[in-house]
Structure 1
Amino acid sequence: MNFMLRFNAIRTGYLLGISLVLAAIIYFFASNWGGLDRTVKIVLAAALIVLFYGLSFVFARIRAVPGQQAFLSNIFLVAGCIAFGVSVALLGQIYNSHADSYGLFLIWSVPALLLSWITRYNPFYVLSYVLIHLGLWLYFYPTMQSASYSELESLSIAGVFALVNLGLFLFTFLRRLSSIPLKYISFIVFHIALLTMTNSFALDEYGLVMNIPCIAVIAIGFYVFIKIRLSKTLLTLNALAASAFAVFKFIELAEAYSSSLFFVFGLIFVALLLTGNVWFFRYLNRLGESSPEDGEITDEQKRDAAKPGVETPDMSTPAAKTAVPEERGSEWISKAVSRMIKVVGVLIGSISLIGLITITANVNHTEYVLLGVSLLLMLLMIVIPESRLDSVIRYTLLTISYITGLAAILWSDQTLLSVLFLFVSIAGWFRSRGKRQLFFAYVFVNLNLATILFQQFQEWERWSWTYEFIIFALFFVNAVLYGISYFVFKAGLREHLRDSSLFFSLLFLFWATFFEDVFPHSYMLINVFYFVVVTGMVFAFIRLKQKSAAITSIVFWFIFIGFKYYDLLWTLLYKSFTLALLGVLALGITWWLDRRTPHSGKAASEADHRSFSFMRLSPLLIAIVIVLQLGMIGYQTARSETLLATGASVKLKLAPVDPRSVLQGDYVVLNYDISTPPPSSMNPLQEEDWNRGKVKVVLTPGDQGVYIANRLYQEGEKLAKHEIVLNGQWDGSRIQYGIENYFIPEGTGRTVEQNARYAYIRVSRNGDALLERLAES
């Protein structure tokens, strides 16, 4: 056990170190440092791709870190694919192509998909899934322009996402593709897309009709996951989808038909729903044997495991043991779905009751009525013995009473009522049982404390002082509660208080890292304090074998790195050097600890057996993918350089604004005069919306050598010597030429906005263009 604990801690250290190095590389390229010309940047980007893939090859062949070399080989393989995406983004930055365009993510997805097929490694599956979905989303909703779609077009776009995810889910469900993360992610996103298609608020004409296929899909899901292939996890997710649909439809109906009679019918519906729930699950409990669970080792997986290079599942791990159910009956299933129906029923019933009271109560202050109802419900749930009331109904009513009461005390703005509600909330926390119930109760206790603090200090001269004081006070309270949890409460409550107070301590401390200087350099000090403390917690909790605390700390560590992409301490360039240093330091310390860890005996043998390097198993196929990636970069570079060298130079008038790209850094968006040409020159574009699409614009030189849009190019017409054709995309209101982004060093956007008046572009013979530079004249 001690060996495996240290083994996992070392893997965590390597992963954190590599993540820091990758973040440093992204920061460096996004800074757009002027000290490097574009040739050096391109060579450096290609060298980084080769470096990561080379490290993957080295660790696959050399036992430099026994027990971890296969893990590191695979992680460096993933890092190489990420480095390729960063390099593609860098080419966009160098040659000023679209920021965060769909093309960037789709090109990046090609090697990710190929490596997914070669390795069958879940990180590549998830990376491919994210990249393809980002590409699709940005294709339909580009960042550079506000897309306007009709109801039918919006419905079709949601349908595309639904069909893609349905197909992917069927592939994984039918075991044509083995990836549990993809199976669950695609199932969830499919139902989200399907529910979006039923939205009557946005799709007034089609939303009602789409309710029919949505209900059919949910019904088919219940049938398939119960009768054909029993899957507890998918059945639970299907129940969640049904619950979300029911609540969403109730909200739509309440908005359209809100009245006393409607809420009465809502109460009757809930009574029928809960009664039917009891009768239905009496039948469901008599269901027969189940089929293999998600995560079980099936015959097909056993055959796959016998193939060379396929990882054999480790049945000694806790996850593998729990994958084989002790009881194959339908008891767990009936409980899961029954609870979801009870939650939906109680939620709708509570909304109906509150709506009925609000409409019919003949009082001036409805907030007091809501607070009274919430306190009454809370006290009843606290006092009534557990044996007398279903636990799901109890905790759902408690949650609803928390929400209603919190809304009421915010509405009333009475500190005394807030304190009363706080005491009842704390009593509800003590009365709760189970991790989720205790956590939710603790959430509302914190919200209640925040409300009281706000009511007490809202009169301060500056709102920012009140806001910052509340966050620091909540951090302090939760940190103190975490400290005293070791000494005060009995075992069950102590564990839950420890986990909840740790989560909220880190949450409020992370929140505080966004504050501006409260005193000189406080922003820098708080961020450094957060990073040091959370990094120390990661290793301390792993060493102390506190799994949940370690996971919480790791999650907040990565969240910090992600959110502080631009905000942490210095400019991107200095942040890059700092993170690179920290990454190398983390890797060095982890390697030193790894060398001191004995890698002999049964545990080490099992670790080595479960780990294998994909670079070692499929070196030729992976080498082909690497060459393909380098070829893509080389082709795009050669194409852009040729255009810059041979294209016609054109001067255009512009008016910039200043946003920021996640991967590519600061840039200005350029709005050219030729983007919105005079109607007289572009009459065919003004006729109908269906004219959206590719266009060719003929440019002619005007005053001071500035080119203007003269007309639309007609196929076959001959151009005068001074005329140039430029390819564009008409979106219904303006023309996009693909030269609307100009990437700049960090922090120089304001200067560019104030001084840049003209853009110089290069146009090839076929009408493609590259943005060369901006100038004042």
Structure 2
Amino acid sequence: MKSNKIMIQLGYVLGASALLTAIGYFFASNWEKLNRLEKFIPIFVLILGFYGLSVWLSRKVGREFLSKLSLFASCISFGVGIGLIGQTYNSHADSYSLFLIWSIPAVLYAILTRWQPYYVLSYILGHLAYGLFFFPKWGSYSEAEGVTLVIWLGLAIVNGALFVLFEKGIFHSPFLKWVTFQATLCIFVIMSVSHTFENYGIWMNVPLVAALATAILYAHRTQSKVYLLFAGLWISAAITTKYVELIIEYHNELFFIVSLLFIIVFIGANVMFMNYVRAWKPSTEKIESGAAAEAEEPTKNDGDFSKWIVRVLTISVIIIGSLLGSFTLIGLVTVVLGFDEPANILIGYGFIAVIGMLAARKFNVLARFTIMLSGLMLGTGASVGTERPAMLLIYLALTLAAFVFLQGLITRILFFLASIIILALVLFIWNYSGVAVLSMIAGLLFLIFAGGQGIRPVTFRKPILYSSFPAFFLAMFSLTFITESGWYYATNALFFVIVLVAILISRQLHISWIFDWSMGFWIAFLVYKYYDLAWKLLHKSISFAIIGILIIGITVWIEKKKGLHSEEDSNQTTGISPNRWVIALLVGLQLVAMSLQIGKSEYLLSHGKLIKLQLQPLDPRSLIQGDYVRLRYTISEPPIYQDNLEERTSKGKVTVVLAPSGTSDVYEFRREYHEGEQLASDEVRLNGEREGYEGIKYGIENFFIPEGTGRSYEQNAKFAEVKVSAGGDAILVRLTEK
């Protein structure tokens, strides 16, 4: 019976996620047939409706999960509403303020309900707000190197502080505790890259070492093998990063010769570390010994997370060592020895390395697989570079032999995936299109997965299933983006159905690893379809809405048929009753905040003065608001800024005075406004912000448009009509040709 309840909950989650995706896609499409009122009323209804549903469900026995899910949907709707207001009044395209405002109720809900989805949502929104505050343009680092480094350091401190809060039990989220641990160490590695931070990167190696040492000490103090293993993984990642830096800086003969010694030391150190980890048995954890990549007992303890981490660390060390070894050998062959035909040498080395390590059964496992994998990468890479499919087929045979004769779950997974990649490379060389190759690979993987169910030896069945299933989903997922015409819709529909069936069946049969992979691809499908330009957002919205309604309808029907809705569970608690009034106040404040912003904007539109500005548009896409043109005006860089270096590099708030030019009704820059000065009858003031070399921004740089119309606006729009209040605030009304 418990299994049935879980399936019902899953049905509601899948249906709700599809509906919320449909809502977001619909408003992001900026459908031109809706006026402002028709856009705002539905979002207010959604926020109140989901909250009301949450309250109603909280009074029903056994409906705690649905009550929380409904309140979460209300919070998501609030975020869509904020984006909608910005879209309607052409402001806040991917602004930090949008995500910051959205994060406030998410954080409060997390504190009040202690439900994990709110913690995750708060973490994501907080990081988006932080990043966009300092870097408004995605991927743009306009700040000085020192300032950029301080920003990254601040993010590391934030994640470190959150980790401490989770560790102290002030906040409770094991998942985010793990995420903040990884994020903190990752940021320190990034800050230490001297080719990114040329002046300060080398000095950041000191705090990097301190952070890694602190991670090791924490793992020992808490007796956590899992965190010790991840700390070791980050140490290996840091060493690899430093090695790549050295290759770029010192790629000469002496360096590649010394590198051989370095790789030997690297592998030896990791062998010692892995032996230490395997022998370490913390009193607070029951970790089975012998959890190596070559383990032959695959059934009893595979579910143990620590054992999987040992395996992942082992294979990560092998991959890192193989990459380092491959770089070094390429350098030796090309730079030190200077062979005329280096590809032949690398192909030959690959054969010797793979065959030799297949035979060397008593050789150290890390060294053995490192040499084998480096030989495989170098040999196949050289064969692809010289277009020799016959050589690739030989390597394919060797990888299949390694899969059969070598032992260990992760080892066999690795060589199975390697054989699939080599097969794909062979097909590409034979001039098949990308769609054809992926289709054949996907079909083959499906057949392997289906046939793998009947393999009796578990030592072969598990690696085949664990490899073929996610690889099949990845191939199918790729096809949903690269196919065209009718095949595009066919592959999308097929992928969706397969994912949905996999989720339901795996949940019903309690196959957790299939369920986890399927849910991951379900979420990826919902999110990444947003960026797929082959299918309009409005059409996606309608499709997901229909899907969501069908899933929820089927779930309700099954629930009633099985009588699960009438069952009582004395152990169930209500969803939001302990903090009902606080949550009601919070929902009310969300609606008030939205109403005030709408009222302020509507007042400006009704009472502001209409002026015309000359512009130059650019067409990007917002994260949650759809397509918009990013505008730059002639007044964004007035003449006084072009001639004055001090003014050009200054930052801070500024108010300018505009007036129409003598020959047209287009408003131009006159001067900076000083508090208290009187304006002429034809002059207006406009508030802005100095952005250094970026000029002045006035908050009217974004104009949201229906999807797919950006090119037309780019070609035709020459002017912008703007409403300006007496206080200098502005709203962008429309773009015009004249």
TM-score for the superposition, normalised by structure 1: 0.86
**1:94 Cα deviation after fit:** 0.7
Give ranges in structure 1 of 5+ residues lacking alignment. Answer: 295-317, 326-330, 459-465
Aligned to 2:13: 15
Query: Structure 1 542/175 Cα, relative in aligned 2: closer, same or farther at 3 Å?
Result: closer
Which one is further off, 71-80 or 358-367? 358-367
Residue among 22, 25, 35 paired with 1:24: 22
Q: Which runs of 4+ in 1 moved over 6 A?
A: 278-288, 331-343
Aligned position for 1:307: none
Cross-structure match for 1:106? 100
Distance 2:475 2:7 in 1: 26
Q: Which one of the candidate residues 342, 354, 366 is aligned to 1:378?
A: 354
Equivalents in 2 of 1:91, 1:430: separation in Å?
60
| Stretch moving more, 42-51 or 353-362 | 353-362
Q: What CA distance in whole angstroms lies between the structure 1 residues aligned with 2:315 and 2:498? A: 40
State which drifts further: 369-378 or 261-270. 261-270
Deviation at 1:104, TM superposition (A): 0.6
Mapped to 1, the partners of 2:313 and 2:492 lie a distance apart of 44
Per the alignment, residue 299 of structure 1 pairs with: none
1:410 to 364, 384, 392: 384
Seen in structure 2, the aligned counterparts of structure 1 residues 350 and 146 have a Cα distance that, compared at 3 Å, is: closer
Match of 1:127 among 117, 121, 128: 121
Q: Does 1:269 align with 2:262?
A: yes
1:543 to 508, 514, 530: 508
Consecutive unaligned residues of structure 2, counting only runs of 5 or more, are: 288-299
State the secondary structure of the residue aligned to 1:653.
strand
For residues 621 and 97 of structure 1, the distance between their equivalents in structure 2, rounded to whole angstroms, comes to 31
Q: For residues 535 and 365 of structure 2, what CA distance do their matches in structure 1 show?
A: 52
CA spacing shift, 1:608–1:710, aligned 2, 3 Å:
farther
2: CA distance, partners of 1:637 / 1:208: 50
**Equivalent in the alignment of 1:255:** 248
1:670–1:742 CA contact under 8 A, matched in 2: yes
Q: What is the aligned partner in structure 2 of residue 91 from structure 1?
A: 85
- When residues 345 and 184 of structure 1 are mapped into structure 2, their CA distance, relative to the original with a 3 A threshold, is same
In the other structure, the counterpart of 2:233 is 240
Instruction: State the one-letter code of the partner of 1:149.
Output: E
Displacement after TM superposition at 1:13 (Å): 1.1
Of residues 711, 726, 730, the one that matches 1:750 is 711
CA separation of 1:74 and 1:248: change in aligned 2, threshold 3 A: same
Look up the match of 1:297. none
1:760 Cα deviation from its structure 2 partner: 1.1
Selected match of 1:555 from 500, 505, 520:
520
Change (3 A) 1:78 1:608: farther
Q: Deviations over 1:254-273 (max 9, x none)?
A: 22122332233233334445
Structure 1 residues 728 and 406: alpha-carbon distance in aligned structure 2, compared to 1, 3 A threshold: farther
What is the rounded CA distance, in whole Å, between the counterparts of 1:578 and 1:640 in structure 2? 33
Taking the aligned partners of 2:317 and 2:492, their CA distance within structure 1 comes to 44
Q: Deviation per CA, 1:263-322: give whole Å up to 9, x if none.
A: 33233334445556666788888878545799xxxxxxxxxxxxxxxxxxxxxxx99x96
Q: Do the aligned residues in 2 keep the contact of 1:85 with 1:108 (CA within 8 Å)? A: yes
The equivalent of 2:617 in structure 1 is: 656
| 3-state DSSP of counterpart to 2:689 | strand
| Aligned pair partner of 2:592 in 631, 637, 643 | 631
Aligned to 1:452: 426
Q: 1:251 offset after TM fit, Å?
A: 1.0
Deviations along 1:86-110, whole A, 9 cap, x unmatched?
0000000110003111111011011
Aligned alpha-carbon RMSD (Å)? 3.0
Is the contact made by 1:368 and 1:412 (CA closer than 8 Å) also made in structure 2? no
The number of equivalent residue pairs is: 723
Match of 2:52 in 1: 54
Tell me the residue number matched to 2:395: 421
> Is 2:664 the partner of 1:704?
yes
Alpha-carbon contact 1:713-1:725 (below 8 Å) kept = yes
CA distance in 2, matches of 1:395, 1:612: 53
**Does the CA contact (< 8 Å) of 1:566 and 1:572 recur in 2?**
no
- Which among 183, 189, 197 is matched to residue 203 of structure 1? 197
1:284–1:760 Cα change, 3 Å? closer
- Residue matched to 1:360: 336
2:647 and 2:350 mapped to 1: Cα distance?
56
The letter of the residue matching 1:553 is: S
Residue of structure 2 aligned with 1:158, choices 152, 157, 162 = 152
Moved more, 194-203 or 83-92: 194-203
Q: Distance in 2 between matches of 1:426 and 1:631?
A: 64
Which residue does 1:38 correspond to in 2? 36
Give, as a single letter, the amino acid of the residue that structure 2 aligns with 1:700.
A
C-alpha change, 1:608 and 1:497, in structure 2 (3 Å) is: farther
Report the equivalent of 2:292: none
Query: Matched residue of 1:413: which SS?
Result: coil
SS of equivalent to 2:671: strand
**Are the equivalent residues in 1 in contact too, given 2:621–2:628 (CA < 8 A)?**
yes
Match of 1:310 in 2: none
Matched, 1:581 2:546: yes
* CA 1:596–1:435: 2 relative to 1, 3 Å: farther
Distance 1:574 1:600 in 2: 34
C-alpha spacing 1:410/1:18, structure 2 compared with 1 (3 Å): same
Counterparts of 1:635 and 1:647, CA distance in 2:
17
Aligned to 1:741: 702
Percent identity, aligned pairs only? 35
- Give the secondary structure class of the aligned counterpart of 2:481: coil
Q: 2:438–2:475: 8 Å Cα contact kept in structure 1?
A: yes
Structure 2 residue matching 1:513: 3-state secondary structure:
helix
- Give the one of 602, 606, 610 matched to 1:641: 602
SS of 2:576's partner is helix
Deviation at 1:133, TM superposition (A): 0.4
1:502 corresponds in structure 2 to 469
Amino acid in structure 2 at the alignment position of 1:671: R
Contact (CA 8 Å) 1:27, 1:575: kept in 2 or not?
yes
Indicate conservation of the 8 Å contact 1:488/1:494, yes or no. yes
Paired residues of 2:314 and 2:366 also in contact (CA < 8 A): no
1:759 Cα deviation after fit: 1.2
